[in-house]
Amino acid sequence: MPDRPHYVDLLNDIRLQESRAGEYLEAWANTTTNEELKECLSMVAAREYSHGDIFDRRVKELGFETSEVADPEFVEKVRVVTSDITDAEKIAWLKEARLRQPSPTVRERYEAATNDESVDPLTRSLLRWFTDVENDSVVRMGEVYGKIENGG
């Protein structure tokens, strides 16, 4: 096996975060009765699953095995988004959960890796594209969340 680059763990963490996001967003999409929210969650969930697959592949292309890392918050996230509380309450809960993320967050780590010349160029290019898609998802979800938070 080649020497293990320092960023393989980051790529594996992105893979896990994205595929888990796909799961809980899809679970929420299947629960909500708000059609606009359902459509947005389904679109973003498909992106998240796809990102999970792409980073899974990238770890393997670099010559390494992916690994499983437990996320104690994940089960709770699925439980909350499929519960009987309102969509507005789910949004508030998810925003609180985001604040509890350990620092540096995965997002902070991949932003740093994008600008790190010791990371191989193809991975950096992938991270730039991934960041653009994630930003677009944040904007789209923010628009739908905003309407729900304002009682729409």
Binding-site ranges for Fe ion (CB under 5 A) = 18, 21, 48
Residue closer to Fe ion (CB basis): 63 or 71: 71
CB of 151 to Fe ion, least distance (A): 27
How many Å from the N-terminal Cα to the C-terminal Cα in the chain?
55
Residue closer to Fe ion (CB basis): 21 or 119: 21
CB of 49 to Fe ion, least distance (A): 10
CB of 1 to Fe ion, least distance (A): 29
Residue closer to Fe ion (CB basis): 18 or 56: 18
